[in-house]
Chain A
């Protein structure tokens, strides 16, 4: 595709439910990044995938959060048993391997609201 595509663009869920957020990176980009942006915390790193290497999960805030990247392309961020503090905009970005986050393109994000 022309850019990084995220779906859904908006998601409202009830506290305690599980949600899945999807990211379609730019074709050919082997690196994929998830960040979240919340009012109180600003932008926070969540997880980084690079090719077949073990992902850097150091930013995931709790074990309720997990992410997968299937076939080196599409990624899904899953939040189990959602809490109100999970409400945020979840941003995905992708880049070519050698460029790192400095050469990444960001999607428009998924706005998650937990009620």
Chain B
């Protein structure tokens, strides 16, 4: 059974600091891995998606890496800002066993990030 773990559960940093969020998964048979952001009382916003054949993806100050063989992904946030404060969720999409199983993601519990001005 696929399990996704995120460390740390919570993180508080001063503005301007670079930081790394960690995600690990137990089954390397994944289709892709995705990082989301969730603000309080709101839905999810997709940040980065890494296909199983890729090693990393970058968007602005965000960089996500994937090491499928070791079951790990990291989300690197450069020059953090107070607006980055949110919960960051890692999710893996398992390889579908049937044609209609493309909608399932398995989520970690999230890392709650607070960036202090």
A residues near B (Cβ < 8 Å) are: 4, 31, 33, 35, 42-45, 47-50, 53-56, 58-59, 91, 93, 100-109
Interface size class on chain B is 20 to 34
Q: Which residue of A lies closest to B33 (CB)?
A: A102
Tell me, in angstroms, the Cα distance from A65 to B54 when the chains sit together.
Answer: 37
Residues of B contacting A103 with CB < 8 Å? 46
Nearest CB on A from B47, distance (A): 11
- Closest B residue to A95 by beta carbon equals B103
* CB < 8 Å A-B pair total: 70
Set of chain B residues within 8 Å of A55, measured between Cβ atoms:
100
* Chain A residue nearest in CB terms to B106: A45
Where chain B touches its partner, the secondary structure class is loop
B interface vs A, CB < 8 Å?
Answer: 32, 34, 41-46, 49, 89, 91, 93, 98-110
Report 16 cross-chain contacts, Cβ distance below 8 Å, ordered by A residue.
A31-B102, A48-B104, A49-B103, A50-B100, A53-B100, A56-B98, A56-B101, A56-B103, A59-B104, A100-B103, A101-B102, A102-B32, A102-B49, A108-B41, A108-B43, A109-B43
